Structure 1
């Protein structure tokens, strides 16, 4: 595994948001100014904006608080893995399902191979978002996992509400929205055998203070900083809140299934009573969205009456 310790030390120093000269950074780390410059370039490739001003040195475009394993772990009972640099938090847990304790969490500052639904790339710059996955062993098996992304969406949206942030909604089956713009995405992946327990990995990527200068995101999106009008977010406390909320929601789901979540979902449904279209391969169905049913299917009022649709290959789009 590549050693990123120098870059991480640089970021930790620069995270205060003030200027630091190349000379002082080099003295602190015991390397040359040229080496500092090279490491700064590497950090910029992670999506971090760093200014260089002649005679003043380097400064982050916006200061941030780096994630702290000790701080997070001290406030939750779930085992926590914090990896500043990782390919994918979901993949890390998927590769270790046979040895991990149920409830283990993996958090990262940067993902080199973050992915969303259907294998799409999830843009994952360093330190400005939240990349978070939790492993859960569901004894009831894979069939019982239907609708789990909806449960996770409800839990996260309600956790954000509990922080005094209003207006966050849900888009079936796996996104969080604000003012019709994507705020976060949820990806549930699973493995297991028929008749046995299901190994579930539930991942979430949430935009916190991201800027898409390269225009690589192909849909309307927003960030939590934009929602609240403040980019000084305490990401450590967000992680703690989400771990506690998800742990409680997953335990509830094990006992009660979807029944406790349908009404809660419908209250937060971004497209409730709005015209939508469902895209299923080459087929498309239009109608008025009426929330979800007890199985987690999206309800669509069509010319032929009320119908339920469910499945991982369905995309919901607004139709107004």
Structure 2
């Protein structure tokens, strides 16, 4: 029953994605359900963030059309499509959560570089448990699996490395002005464009299994969506909606190119690149760490990915997961 509902919603989403009016009767015939049942499915999709409205006598229509994510289209644009699996799901609670389930479940034999993308995330997350809000068709949300045989300690600086990979991918689309905010945000012209969430499964002393989650604003107009902080999107910068499947392929290629180097050599060789993209380089920053606040001049990062802040006492190192950072 659950699988059937998923297929029905995927079908409805595909029908509406053209941005044209579709009558309830036509949709009902397409999916083999009553108009009442169709209305229920569309109500659920709307609750999950699908921007759909109904006009009496015309039917249902999206606020704007969009091209659906498609695993075949993504694979065709990858440099090495056979390296690992690319899977697209119409609706998931969270791509990170789904991959974490597969790590724990021995039936799923994951390979480095396997990717899960979702058109709709019903419980997407950012750092510190914050909700990641993503309008349907207006974002690119995906997660990649990568293992670290040398354990958790060999992952130092991973979120920063992922930020570099995202910037490299975006620069291929003509987005040259991207910057990085330590430890895991991508900014464009001073506003948040994308976020990274790293989660890890595994025992101490054994292989660490990482899930690399990325959320990118593709078409999220700031006048329509309040995400709790200043944000921007690629459409505003480029003047047109970019191809999300091409974007996904570029991101996946960039991660697959840099992650093997990082796994073998660590973050050290990427320090210079990250610092060239640093949003707060040599600026006053304020860091909140629990109930404590620190202020100082941001002086880049070290080879472990720790943030270096110059205070009256000298250089202090801060590690990911402990602090929030904003310009002072």
Using the alignment, how far apart are the partners of 1:296 and 1:54 within structure 2? 56
Of 1, 6, 10, the residue aligned with 1:4 is 6
Superposed, which structure 2 residues align to 1:271-290 within 5 Å? 271-290=280-299
Of 15, 18, 29, the residue aligned with 2:17 is 15
Q: Which moved more, 1:204-213 or 1:190-199?
A: 204-213
SS at match of 2:266: helix
Of 51, 54, 57, the residue aligned with 2:53 is 51
Superposed, which structure 2 residues align to 1:59-138 within 5 Å? 59-74=61-76, 75=78, 76=81, 77-97=83-103, 98=106, 99-138=109-148
**TM-score normalised according to structure 1 size:** 0.93
Deviation at 1:39, TM superposition (A): 2.6
Who is 1:150 aligned against?
A: 160
Deviation at 1:57, TM superposition (A): 2.4
Q: What number of residue pairs does the alignment pair up?
A: 318
Using the alignment, how far apart are the partners of 2:96 and 2:245 within structure 1? 19
Using the alignment, how far apart are the partners of 1:304 and 1:146 within structure 2? 25
Deviation at 1:229, TM superposition (A): 2.5
**TM-score normalised according to structure 2 size:** 0.91
Give the alignment's Cα RMSD to 1 decimal: 1.9
SS at match of 1:166: coil
Using the alignment, how far apart are the partners of 1:287 and 1:165 within structure 2? 30
Who is 1:219 aligned against?
A: 229
Q: Judging changes above 3 Å, is the alpha-carbon distance between structure 1 residues 94 and 29 closer, same or farther for their aligned structure 2 residues?
A: closer
- Unpaired runs of 5+ in structure 2? none
Deviation at 1:213, TM superposition (A): 7.7
